[in-house]
């Protein structure tokens, strides 16, 4: 009996040690990357924005309440690779003046959490506050012709922001609260968010691979540069079918 109890205690100690190790590892990584503890709502807003800009969704999770934070961490790898592929393709297209409105719109829609936004903090009272996000949008020029409807799947669109409250276009209002001494955004984490993250985790490479391919092609192949929009449209529609 005593021997059995000793074994249970040992298992508990090992399990507890593993938990503390993982917790300290994440906290250390956060500090090394320069993400401060959110002692004020403004620090939370600044650090969250920086993490999203860097496509470090696992770091952005430190500045969100549990439900939404779990989904950020769960989808970090997929969202990071998808966001990075979007950034790289957009850069090459813009550098060569190949970007058209319809491509801007599709890449913007595919972005798990668009990184071009401003966030302001207000209504601070005790342990609550409010953050207002204003997204820049895709920046349409309005002077490029369309090649027609793109057959895409909305399940992959704006994975992390579709559930947010939008009182007016391109604007999200999110409550903030203080938990365990740190300020966090209290974004909604409904079942639809979980389903979208699961879909992204399952399908993201179907989109990443062709975007990486076209990124190289527009750099090196004149034929693709002459038909870049059509090339992207074909590959994105194929990705949506897989």
pLDDT above 70 for 9: no
Look at residue 86 and tell me if it is in a domain: yes
Which residue segment(s) compose the domain that 52 sits in? 38-140+147-241
Look at residue 20 and tell me if it is in a domain: no
Q: Quote the DSSP letter at residue 48.
A: H
Question: Which one, of 62, 81, 82, 83, lies nearest residue 73 by Cα?
Answer: 62
Spatial separation of the C-alpha atoms in residues 91 and 132, rounded to whole Å: 28
Model confidence at 6, pLDDT cuts 50, 70, 90, reads low
Question: Which one, of 234, 214, 196, lies nearest residue 78 by Cα?
Answer: 196
Look at residue 11 and tell me if it is in a domain: no
Q: What is the pLDDT of residues 111-141, one digit of tens each?
A: 999 999 999 999 999 999 999 999 999 988 8
Question: Which one, of 68, 91, 72, lies nearest residue 80 by Cα?
Answer: 72
Q: Quote the DSSP letter at residue 126.
A: T
**Pairing of β 117-125 and β 171-179:** unpaired
- How many domains does the chain fold into? 1
The 10 Å CB-count burial string (b at 16+, else e) for 85-110 is bbbebbebbeeeebbbbbbbbbbbeb
Percent of the chain residues past pLDDT 90, beyond the cut: 72
Look at residue 30 and tell me if it is in a domain: no
Look at residue 24 and tell me if it is in a domain: no
Mean pLDDT over the full length of the chain: 89
Look at residue 23 and tell me if it is in a domain: no
Question: Which one, of 89, 78, 76, 79, lies nearest residue 212 by Cα?
Answer: 89
Spatial separation of the C-alpha atoms in residues 158 and 131, rounded to whole Å: 19
Look at residue 198 and tell me if it is in a domain: yes
Q: What is the pLDDT of residues 159-198, one digit of tens each?
A: 999 988 888 889 999 999 998 899 999 999 999 999 999 9
Beta bridge partners of 77: none
Q: Check: CB of residue 147 under 8 Å from CB of residue 188.
A: no
- pTM for this prediction: 0.86
Look at residue 222 and tell me if it is in a domain: yes
């Amino acid at each position: 009996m005593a021997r059995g109890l000793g074994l249970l205690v040992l298992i508990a100690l090992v399990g507890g040690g593993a938990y503390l190790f993982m917790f300290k590892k994440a906290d250390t990584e956060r500090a090394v990357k320069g993400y401060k503890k959110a002692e004020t709502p403004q620090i939370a807003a600044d650090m969250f924005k920086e993490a999203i800009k860097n496509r470090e969704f696992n770091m952005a999770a430190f500045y969100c309440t549990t439900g939404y934070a779990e989904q950020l961490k769960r989808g970090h790898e997929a969202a990071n690779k998808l966001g990075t592929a979007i950034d790289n393709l957009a850069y090459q297209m813009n550098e060569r003046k190949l970007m058209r409105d319809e491509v801007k719109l599709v890449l913007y829609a595919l972005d798990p959490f668009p990184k071009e936004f401003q966030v302001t903090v207000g209504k601070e009272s005790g342990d609550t506050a409010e953050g207002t996000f204003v997204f820049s949008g895709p920046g349409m020029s309005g002077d490029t012709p369309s090649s027609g409807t793109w057959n895409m799947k909305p399940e992959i669109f704006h994975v992390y922001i579709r559930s947010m409250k939008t009182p007016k276009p391109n604007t999200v209002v999110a409550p903030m609260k203080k938990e365990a001494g740190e300020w966090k955004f209290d974004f909604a984490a409904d079942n639809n968010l979980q389903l979208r993250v699961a879909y992204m985790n399952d399908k993201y490479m179907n989109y990443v691979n062709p975007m990486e391919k076209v990124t190289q092609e527009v750099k090196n192949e004149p034929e693709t540069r002459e038909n870049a929009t059509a090339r992207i449209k074909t590959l994105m529609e194929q990705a949506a079918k897989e």
